[in-house]
Amino acid sequence: MKQFVTSMLLIKLHHSHKVAEYCEQLSTHLGWNKVDIETVTLLGYLHDYGSLLEILETSSFVHKHDHGFEGYWKFHNSEFNKILTIDQLAAIRYHNNPNLMELHNKFLKVLRDADKLAIFEFTNSLINTGELEWHCETYLECKTTDYCKAMLGWFGDINYSWTERKLSDMKIRERLEVILG
C-alpha cells in the first residue's frame, strides 16, 4: 500500500508542476507583470495541497472532501497568508469548483485553465500508452466512459482562447469522443 500511495503522490506532484508551468505560460501570454506571473505560478504548485493530504488520509484519488477548501484552509492559517492575498488564496479555494458561473479573479481563471490543461495532457498520455482504462479503474475508481464524459464537459468551462488553442493542438476532444464512440 505504501508504494501505491507514493505513486499517487508522485502523479499529483508532477501534475502540480505542469499546472505551474501552464500558469506561467498563460499569464505571460496575457502580459501580466512579473510579480503576478510568479504568484500565479506559485499557486499552480500549491493548488492541490489539499489533495495531497487527502491521498495520505484515504490512499485514493477519489475526493471525499473539498480539496480546494482543505488546501485554502491550511494556507490561510499559516505563514502563507502573509505573502498571498485573500484573492490569491481564493484561487486555491475555488480552483476545483465546477459551479462557478462568472469569474472575476484573474488568478483563479488562469489556475483553472492551467489545471484543466495539465489534466487533459495527462489523459492524452494515458491514451497514447493504452493505460487510460487501467488508470480510471485503479486510481479513480470509475469507468473510462464516465471519466471521458466528465472531461468533455470541461470544454464549456475554458476561460481563454490561448487554452482553447492548446487543447485544439492536443486533439484531446476528438480522442475522447472516439473512446465514447
Q: What share of the chain is helix, strand, coil (3-state, %, to 5)?
A: 75, 0, 25
Residue 174 has pLDDT above 60, yes or no: yes
Of the candidates 23, 13, 15, 108, the one whose C-alpha atom is nearest the C-alpha of residue 53 is 13
pLDDT of residue 62: 79
pLDDT of residue 32: 98
- Domains annotated for the chain, with CATH where assigned, are 2-98+106-180 (1.10.3210)
Q: What average pLDDT does the segment 31-36 reach?
A: 98
Q: Distance from CA of residue 83 to its chain's centroid?
A: 22
Q: Which of 12-16, 66-70, 99-103, 118-122 shows the lowest mean pLDDT across its residues?
A: 99-103
pLDDT of residue 102: 59
Q: What average pLDDT does the segment 99-109 reach?
A: 78
Q: What average pLDDT does the segment 163-171 reach?
A: 96
pLDDT of residue 58: 86
Q: What average pLDDT does the segment 112-139 reach?
A: 94
Q: How far apart are CA 138 and CA 136, in angstroms?
A: 6
pLDDT tens by residue, 43-75: 999 999 999 988 888 888 877 888 889 999 999
103 residue type, one letter: L
pLDDT tens by residue, 82-103: 999 988 999 999 998 876 655 6
